[in-house]
Chains A and B, each alone.
Chain A
Amino acid sequence: MTGVAIVHSHLFEAVLQLADDHLILGHRVSEWCGHAPMLEEDLGLANMALDLLGQSRALYAYAAEIEDAGRSEDDLAFLRVERQYQNCLLVERPNGDFAHSILRQLYFAAFMHPFWHHVAANSSDETLRGIAGKAEKEMAYHLRHSAEWVVRLGDGTDESAKRVKEAVDALHHYTDELFQGSSAMTACAENGVLPDVETLRPSWTSTIADVFAHGQLAMPEVAHPQTGGRMGEHGEEMGHILHELQYMQRTYPNLQW
């Protein structure tokens, strides 16, 4: 194998991992459509779901182009088996109540915003710079919106404070995986295509600490971080997501609409 081929396959894997993160979280957030606690937030959540889905489409299309093996963005999004999805575990966590969902959004956006900012400014890959330019603005809004809510829930009523604390206990141990990356991401970082995710940790930690301080929430100590998504090892909920996501393409192959 030539050096170029190795770079391409790492690039494919890393772009696919990013695409999977955005597809699965976008699907999760879209589950709120019609169910949000108030009409205004129903639209807000649907907007965020569409942002994520749009980002995943751009990433899958690019992954398909890199792979150049005749697979389309739809094939990558809908026709792989569970173990081939390499999204982090955080994004597949069930919606729970609104506090769980908005906290999950905060954790993800506080990571992706500096990630895309770095890609837009520094990446040697022109396509990824383009995707990042759009995604950075979208994630800045997700971060702002979810942070405002976490502050208000944490510093709101006894009930809202209790629920957001439960969400922190349930989700915080899935955040470490964001900074572990994967061998593909590490290779892309060495090539100047993507940031070294570990270097984004201080910015994420200070964002979360700031939000938690305003929301009267304590930063938890995590004894046992949960990982495995990047290697295709998912929680049992992942199969349920894929069942819904893949049903149409598997029932009506090559369906277009």
Chain B
Amino acid sequence: MPDTMTPLWEVFIRPRNGLHHKHVGSLHAADASLAIQSARDVYTRRGEGNSIWVVPSSQISASDPSSGKEMFDPADDKVYRHPTFYDIPDEVGNM
């Protein structure tokens, strides 16, 4: 089947209630409802989730890999943005 009839979809699965949907991969499908069915067959065969989102890959805008330096390097030396400088009472436990 030509790709134009079965465009690419990105698949997001939510493993449990309360968690967020996470990107798991992509697949080809003719439309959204078949994409959801294929996502069920391809990505939830071992009980991986209880909710599926599919998004046409063509609808995703991505950052440009060639501008990676200006985008991401400036964060490298700003360790103070990690919340590790606070004293947390033991009773709070893990945060």
Q: Which residues of A contact B (CB under 8 A)?
A: 37-41, 43-44, 47, 141, 144-145, 148-149, 152
Query: Which of A38, A44, A144, A145 meets B1, CB within 8 Å?
Result: A38
Q: Can you name 11 A-B residue pairings with CB atoms under 8 Å?
A: A37-B1, A38-B28, A39-B28, A39-B42, A40-B27, A40-B28, A40-B38, A43-B41, A145-B37, A148-B34, A148-B37
Add 7 more A-B contacts to A44-B38, A148-B34 (CB < 8 A): A38-B28, A39-B28, A39-B42, A41-B38, A43-B45, A44-B37, A44-B41
| Contact residues of A: prevailing secondary structure | helix
Are B42 and A43 closer than 8 Å at their CB atoms?
yes
Min distance, Cβ B32 to any Cβ of chain A, angstroms? 11
Instruction: Name the A residues within 8 Å of B37 (CB-CB).
Output: 44, 144-145, 148
Query: Which of B6, B33, B40 meets A38, CB within 8 Å?
Result: B6
Are B34 and A47 closer than 8 Å at their CB atoms?
no
Instruction: Name the B residues within 8 Å of A141 (CB-CB).
Output: 40
Q: What's the Cα separation between A40 and B1 when bound, in Å?
A: 12
Instruction: Name the A residues within 8 Å of B38 (CB-CB).
Output: 40-41, 43-44
Q: What's the Cα separation between A40 and B39 when bound, in Å?
A: 8
Instruction: Name the B residues within 8 Å of A44 (CB-CB).
Output: 37-38, 41
Q: What's the Cα separation between A98 and B33 when bound, in Å?
A: 19
Q: What's the Cα separation between A37 and B30 when bound, in Å?
A: 13
Q: Which 10 A-B pairs have the closest CB atoms?
A: A40-B38, A44-B41, A43-B41, A40-B27, A47-B41, A43-B42, A145-B37, A40-B42, A148-B34, A152-B30
Instruction: Name the B residues within 8 Å of A39 (CB-CB).
Output: 27-28, 42
Are B41 and A152 closer than 8 Å at their CB atoms?
no
Q: What's the Cα separation between A43 and B28 when bound, in Å?
A: 13
| B13: interface (CB < 8 Å) | no
Instruction: Name the A residues within 8 Å of B27 (CB-CB).
Output: 39-40
| B52: interface (CB < 8 Å) | no
Cβ contacts B68-83/A at 8 Å (1 or 0 each): 0000000000000000
Min distance, Cβ A141 to any Cβ of chain B, angstroms? 8
Output the nearest chain B residue to A144 by Cβ-Cβ distance. Answer: B37
